[in-house]
Amino acid sequence: MRLFAALLLAVLISLSLSGCGERAASPEGSLQDASVPGHPGGHQAEAVKHWETPTRSKLAASNNDFGFRLFRELVATTPDSNIVISPLSVSLALGMTMNGANGQTFDDMRTTLGYSDYSLEAINQCFESLMRMLVHLDPEVQFEVANAVWCQVGVPFKQPFLDACSEFYDAEADNIDFESPDAPDIVNAWVADKTHDKITKIVKEFAPLTMIVLVNAIYFLGAWREPLDPEKTHDGEFMLPDSTWRDVRMMVGPDSCNHYTAFAGPSFNALDMAYGDSLFSMTIFLPSGGNTITSMLEDFDQANWSVWMAGFRRWCGDLVFPRFEVEYGLRMENVLTTLGMGIIFDFRRADFTKMCTCFNDFYIKKVMHKTYIRVDERGTEAAAATEVEGGPTGIPPQFRVNRPFVFVIRENRLNTVVFMGQITDPGYFTD
C-alpha cells in the first residue's frame, strides 16, 4: 500500500484542555457528532478544572505558541529530516535558567518564551502546577518529569536562584567538579535514569569553564486506548520527501472507532488517537490540498490551535500508518537566537547576576536538546532531555594547572616575549 509520505513524523503528543466545538468537514471516513466517551471534553475537563485559572491557561497557551515557533523554524532549516522535539522540556530548562537572568536578558528570555505579560513568580507557579498536573493526570499513562542543577564546587551561586529551582521545579541540586573526567558521566547517568535509558548521553564534554548545568528530563509511556493488532501489521510503502518510496511496516487501526477523532483543517487532515484513559493523545497532521509540511505549519499558532482542538469529532474509517522509532538531537543556540534569545549566548551582553556575581562575563555556553520516540501497535514511548550550560569566558575562581599548558615570559612595557614554551610533562621536580 502506498501512503503519502508527508505524514508529520514530529507528531504532537497533546493534552487538550478544551471541549468540542462545531466543524464542517472531516478526513475520509465517517464523522459522527457525538462526543467520544472519555475523550477531550468529558471527564478530562473534570480532571483539570482544579488546575485551570485564566493565568495558567494563558501561560500554557504561550508555551504551545513557543513550541510552534520553535518547530516551524527547525522544519524550515531541515525540511527533509525527521524532527522530534519536546517544547515542554526546553521551556522547563530555560524557565529554571530565567530565574538567574536580569534586565534585558530576562526580558528577552521571557518574550521569546511567550510570557511577556507575566511576572517571574507567575511563570514559576504555572510550571510548578503544570508539572504536578501532568504527572498525576492519567493513571493509565506513565508521565515523569525531573529537573536538576549542578554547580561548580567552590562557586557561590545566589541562594534565591537555587531556592526557586528547588521550590518551583523540584530540581535536585548538587556540587560537581566540571573539570573532572567523570563529570559528564554523572550528568549522563542522571538523564539515563530519568528517561529509562532512552537518552543515555546528553553531554560528551562540558564547554570550557562551565560553572553550572541545568537539566530537564521527561519520560512518557502510553498504551493506545484501543490497541492495534500486530497480526494486521504488514509491509507497505512510504513516500519520502524526494518522491522515492521506501518499505515500512504499516499498522492498521482497530475495527471500532470509539476513541478516534478527526478534523479537516485549512491545509491538513488530522486524526487524534487516545492513550490510556484518553487524557493524553497523539494527533497526526497530514498535509492536504497540495500543501507541504512547511506550508501547513504556517497556520500553526495558538489561536488556530484552540479552534482546531475544539473541532475534533468522532471518526470511523480505515487507518493505516507506519511504525517508527526516532532519536533526535540538536544544539539550540542558533534556533534560540533566531527566535529572539540571542542575548543569553553573548558574554558581552548577558546578565545573569541573579544567578551568580562572581564573574563579569557569565553567559549561556550551550543548550542541548535530545529526544527519543517509538510508536508501535502497543502505543508510544518517548523521552526528552534539555541541558543548559553556563559559565564565564574569563578565569575561574580556582586555577588548577594539572594538564598540559603553554607559558610565556614577557616584559610588561612593550609586551616583548622573552621565552615561551609548552609543558606536557613537568616531571617530579624537587629541591
Q: Which amino acid is at 115?
A: Y
With 0-12 / 13-18 / 19 or more C-beta atoms within 10 angstroms meaning exposed / middle / buried, residue 174 is exposed
Q: Would residue 430 count as lying in a domain?
A: no
- Per the structure, the count of domains in the chain is 1
Sheet holding 30-32, edge to edge: 12-14, 280-287, 268-275, 260-264, 313-316, 30-32
Q: Would residue 61 count as lying in a domain?
A: yes
Q: Are 373 and 381 in contact (CB under 8 A)?
A: yes
Terminal Cα distance for the chain, rounded: 82
pLDDT in tens, 405-428: 666 656 566 665 555 667 767 776
* DSSP class per residue in 180-224: STTHHHHHHHHHHHHTTTS---S-SSPPTT--EEEEEEEEEEEEB
Average pLDDT, the chain: 83
* SS3 state at 94: helix
C-alpha cell belonging to residue 210: 562551565
C-alpha cell belonging to residue 316: 470511523
Task: Identify the pLDDT of residue 61.
Answer: 82
State percent of the chain over pLDDT 70.
81
Helix (H) / strand (E) element for 310: namely helix 302-310
Please name every residue paired with 214 in a beta bridge, in sequence order, or none if there are none.
149, 388
Place of cell 472531516: 26
Instruction: For residues 30 and 293, give the distance between their C-alpha atoms in angstroms, rounded to a whole number.
Output: 25
Q: Would residue 419 count as lying in a domain?
A: no
> What is the distance, to the nearest Å, from the Cα of residue 45 to the centroid of all Cα atoms in its chain?
25
Please name every residue paired with 283 in a beta bridge, in sequence order, or none if there are none.
12, 272
- 78-87, 185-194, 359-368, 371-380 — most confident range: 185-194
Instruction: For residues 279 and 40, give the distance between their C-alpha atoms in angstroms, rounded to a whole number.
Output: 7
Instruction: For residues 161 and 355, give the distance between their C-alpha atoms in angstroms, rounded to a whole number.
Output: 6
Relative to beta strand 234-239, strand 2-3 is: parallel
Task: Identify the pLDDT of residue 427.
Answer: 72
pLDDT in tens, 389-399: 999 986 555 56
What is the mean pLDDT of the segment spanning 240-247?
87
Instruction: Provide the 10 A C-beta neighbour count for residue 402.
Output: 6
Task: Identify the pLDDT of residue 50.
Answer: 60
Q: Would residue 284 count as lying in a domain?
A: yes
Among 13-22, 340-349, 359-368, the range scoring the smallest mean pLDDT is: 13-22
Q: Would residue 417 count as lying in a domain?
A: no
The CATH number assigned to the domain holding 61 equals: 3.30.497.10
Task: Identify the pLDDT of residue 363.
Answer: 96
Q: Would residue 310 count as lying in a domain?
A: yes
pLDDT in tens, 48-93: 556 667 777 777 788 888 988 999 999 999 888 889 999 999 999 9
Q: Would residue 317 count as lying in a domain?
A: yes
Among 20-34, 128-142, 212-226, 293-307, the range scoring the smallest mean pLDDT is: 20-34
Instruction: For residues 131 and 138, give the distance between their C-alpha atoms in angstroms, rounded to a whole number.
Output: 13
What is the mean pLDDT of the segment spanning 111-136?
92
Q: Identify the domain containing residue 192 by its residue range.
A: 1-403
Confidence of residue 38 (pLDDT cuts 50, 70, 90): very low
- Angle, vertex CA 25, rays to CA 21 and CA 306, nearest 5: 35
Write the DSSP symbol of residue 298. T
Q: Would residue 429 count as lying in a domain?
A: no
Backbone Cα Rg of the chain:
25
